[in-house]
Amino acid sequence: MNDAQGRGLTRRSALAASAGAMCFAFASPVRATPDKMQDVIKAFTGGKPVTEGRVTFEITLLVENGNSVPLSVQVESPMKARDHVTRIGIFNEKNPLPDVAIFHLTPRCGRAQVATRMRLNDSQMITAIAEMSDGTFWSATSEVIVTLPACVED
């Protein structure tokens, strides 16, 4: 036992490290996403850079029924005339079409907070992107695992 600790790398620590690496791989934004979603996001942002942050994305991580998945998006913003969220776009990578919905907000909304329900055809990454009145884009991404996908029954 003392020997194993002395070596610094035990079976347990090696397992923990590899599990941690896997979690990191899933959370990493560099994970390859289908090109169609990237194209649609580029059309939404006009090719401007998107920064991760300021957007809170609430969606169940493990979905039993992909036909109806509640989701909500909140963006940190004062929602005043000079500084507010103008649009919130929601995108997916494995449904037939990459767009889900685009919400147009105004300072009259008071809060940058929207909710809806979407279909999920498969386990995939969902991205929410907010456009601010100053022209910057912010995003949040969530991975969702679906056990019964939508679009299977006719």
Partner 1 sequence: MATRALINIPKGARRGDIIEIKTLLSHPMETGFRTGTDGQLVPRDIIEKFVCTYNGEVVFSADLHPSVTANPFISFTTVAMESGALVFAWTDNHGKTQVQTARIDVA
| Contact residues: partner 1, CB under 8 A | 67-70, 72, 92, 95-97, 99-106, 108-111, 113-119, 151, 154
Q: How far apart are the first and last CA of the chain?
A: 60
Note whether 85 and 132 are within 8 A (CB): yes
Residue 101 — φ and ψ, nearest 5°? -160, 150
The CB-of-30 to partner 1 minimum distance in angstroms stands at 25
* Dihedral in degrees, nearest 10, Cα atoms 41, 83, 59, 16: 90
Instruction: Give the C-alpha separation, 146 to 123, whole Å.
Output: 5
The CB-of-98 to partner 1 minimum distance in angstroms stands at 9
The CB-of-136 to partner 1 minimum distance in angstroms stands at 21
Closer of 126 and 140 to partner 1 (Cβ): 126
Using CA atoms, how far residue 33 sits from 94, 123, 154, in Å, is 9, 13, 28
Closer of 73 and 140 to partner 1 (Cβ): 73
Closer of 10 and 107 to partner 1 (Cβ): 107
Closer of 79 and 140 to partner 1 (Cβ): 79
The CB-of-61 to partner 1 minimum distance in angstroms stands at 18
